[in-house]
Amino acid sequence: MRLWLAQGKDQPPTRSEKMSLIQHRAPLSQEEEFKYAKLAMEWYGWGSPIGLGILLVALAAAAVLVRIAVYGF
């Protein structure tokens, strides 16, 4: 309420004015759609969030095992 009053408007924004604040994108062409779908399907292995999570857990486990080997329990 304060925002539209500060902008010097007597009425709150209408629904169409609110909708105009949202950015609308043009639909993708078939080539662009295929390109992004292909890139999304190629994201696997150690570069994926699951792969990075497994790598992080493996590194932590290796660090714990090295600590136990060096210092014992």
| Rounded to 5°, angle at Cα 3 from 9 and 18 | 75
Cα–chain-centroid distance for residue 70?
40
What pLDDT digit, counting tens, does each position of 17-70 carry?
Answer: 665 556 667 888 999 999 988 887 776 666 678 888 889 999 999 999 999 999
User: Considering the entire predicted model, what is its pTM?
Assistant: 0.42
Contact 39, 47 (CB under 8 A): no
Per-residue pLDDT at 3 exceeds 80:
no
